[in-house]
Amino acid sequence: MSTSDPAPRFPDGLLRLLAEAQPRTPRELAVRLGIPVPEVEAGLQGLRQAGLDWRGQAGYILPPEPPPDPVDADAVGAALKDLPQVPQVHALEQVDSTSAWLDRARRQGMRGPVACCTDFQSAGRGRRGRQWRMPPCAGMALSLLWDIRHWPRPDASVTLAAGVALARALEDLGVRGLQLKWPNDLYLDGRKLGGILVEVRAGRDGPDALILGVGINLRLPAHMEVGQPHADLAGAGLDPLPSRSLLAATLIRALEGMLQSYPEPGFAAFLGEWNRRDATRDRPVALSGGDGCTGIARGVDEGGRLCLETDRGLLHIETGEIGLRSRP
């Protein structure tokens, strides 16, 4: 089964060698990896361009401080052995997108539950095709493939239920100040911490799988430009930060627990908590796209639709995005 990254940024194994925090020359790295020195040097430049600020000193390559923390698939799998449906866990050093990797695997016959985590993804995606940027090991990018052949129909509220499940899991790790923003964002103290992307995939007999992708900022470089106010777990007061393997296992467990509640009772089990965590509740917002209507956000309904109080009455919005606006 071939599902590899079509455009790798660095030789596989290089990031994990840097994570050992041992000074090594490019030649020593090349010997360990069994590749020519120029490939190592090109890979080091690829890692730097991706946002990993390794250091050079007297001909030696040193990792940044703190060093990278790769995900260990065995550790993640061991932490999930008690789940009702134990997922296969794949931890990749690099990939274009964890969701794209799972989709390729699905098309070659793989069935859920399967989790894919990565230390670096070069083409992470958010809603509407937006790129999700995350330097190597600076966050958690993972996706879960889930079988929905027993569901009567795909349910868009899964995105919102996933937000509640992830917020609970992060709070169990000690994070405080978490909120949710319709339809798919995790916020921390008013700034974006992460996002969720749920995609339905169909076979010959109709929809048969969900791919649920998650991106969480763990420790972003201070100089990184994201394009909007952002937060990370390093700024949430966690000391020490959880390992990325522990974080991956915690999030996968939370997502599987949420998905086990579908199709019944479904979002009904998460509705009240979602509304309590709503970052825009009772605040003026503008809906992007369409006629760009404005109003006061009044939470979500039992279908996960945004309740928007406008001069035309209470609207129930199924799709779109909202942004806060100034009060007149």
Within this chain, do residues 195 and 46 fall inside the same structural domain, yes or no? no
Residue 129, pLDDT above cutoff 60 = no
Q: Give the mean model confidence (pLDDT) for residues 34-52.
A: 96
CATH number, domain with residue 318:
2.30.30.100
Question: Of the residues 104, 106, 125, 192, which is catalytic?
Answer: 192
Report yes or no on 133 lying in a domain.
yes
Within this chain, do residues 314 and 267 fall inside the same structural domain, yes or no? no
Report yes or no on 2 lying in a domain.
no
Instruction: For residue 181, indicate whether it is catalytic.
Output: no
Tens of pLDDT, residue by residue over 73-104, are 999 999 999 999 999 999 999 999 999 999 99
- Note the helical H segments in 51-147: 73-79, 98-107
Within this chain, do residues 172 and 49 fall inside the same structural domain, yes or no? no
Report yes or no on 212 lying in a domain.
yes
- CA 307 to CA 70: how far, in whole Å? 41
Task: Find where tokens 């799998």 sit.
Answer: 77
* Beta strands across the sheet bearing 139-147: 88-92, 114-118, 139-147, 206-217, 191-203, 185-188, 178-181
Q: Give the mean model confidence (pLDDT) for residues 310-327.
A: 87
Give the end of a domain, one of 6, 31, 62.
Answer: 62
Q: How distant is the alpha carbon of residue 276 from its chain centre?
A: 23
Residue 185, pLDDT above cutoff 60 = yes
Distant-in-sequence, close-in-space partners of 41: CB < 8 Å, separation ≥ 6: 26
Within this chain, do residues 167 and 237 fall inside the same structural domain, yes or no? yes
Domain count, the chain: 3
Q: Where in the sequence is the domain holding 291, given as residue range(s)?
A: 280-324
Report yes or no on 1 lying in a domain.
no
| Percent share of the chain, pLDDT over 90 | 81
Give the end of a domain, one of 62, 96, 119.
Answer: 62
- CA 130 to CA 211: how far, in whole Å? 17
Report yes or no on 264 lying in a domain.
yes
- Average per-residue pLDDT for the chain: 92
Residue 207 buriedness (CB in 10 A; 0-12 / 13-18 / 19+): middle
Report yes or no on 125 lying in a domain.
yes
Within this chain, do residues 148 and 104 fall inside the same structural domain, yes or no? yes
Instruction: For residue 325, indicate whether it is catalytic.
Output: yes
CA-CA distances (angstroms) from residue 290 to 67, 97, 184, 303?
46, 29, 19, 21
Report yes or no on 5 lying in a domain.
no
Within this chain, do residues 222 and 304 fall inside the same structural domain, yes or no? no
| Percent share of the chain, pLDDT over 70 | 93
Residue 222, pLDDT above cutoff 90 = no
* Beta strands across the sheet bearing 313-317: 313-317, 306-310, 294-300, 284-287, 322-324
Within this chain, do residues 122 and 215 fall inside the same structural domain, yes or no? yes
Within this chain, do residues 292 and 252 fall inside the same structural domain, yes or no? no
Question: Of the residues 127, 168, 201, 281, which is catalytic?
Answer: 127
| Packing angle, helices 37-50 and 26-33, rounded to 10 | 100
Which pLDDT belongs to residue 3?
Answer: 47
Which pLDDT belongs to residue 327?
Answer: 58
Residue 207, pLDDT above cutoff 60 = yes
Within this chain, do residues 153 and 214 fall inside the same structural domain, yes or no? yes
CATH number, domain with residue 183:
3.30.930.10
- CA 288 to CA 319: how far, in whole Å? 10
Tens of pLDDT, residue by residue over 255-302, are 999 999 999 999 999 999 999 999 999 999 999 865 678 999 999 999
Give the end of a domain, one of 274, 294, 311.
Answer: 274
Within this chain, do residues 203 and 286 fall inside the same structural domain, yes or no? no
Give the DSSP letter of residue 127.
Answer: G
Report yes or no on 31 lying in a domain.
yes
Within this chain, do residues 90 and 218 fall inside the same structural domain, yes or no? yes
Across 24-38, 124-138, 174-188, least confident range: 124-138
Q: Give the mean model confidence (pLDDT) for residues 49-77.
A: 94
- CA 84 to CA 254: how far, in whole Å? 12
Within this chain, do residues 186 and 319 fall inside the same structural domain, yes or no? no
Instruction: For residue 127, indicate whether it is catalytic.
Output: yes
Residue 253, pLDDT above cutoff 60 = yes
Q: Which residues pair with 16 in a beta bridge?
A: none
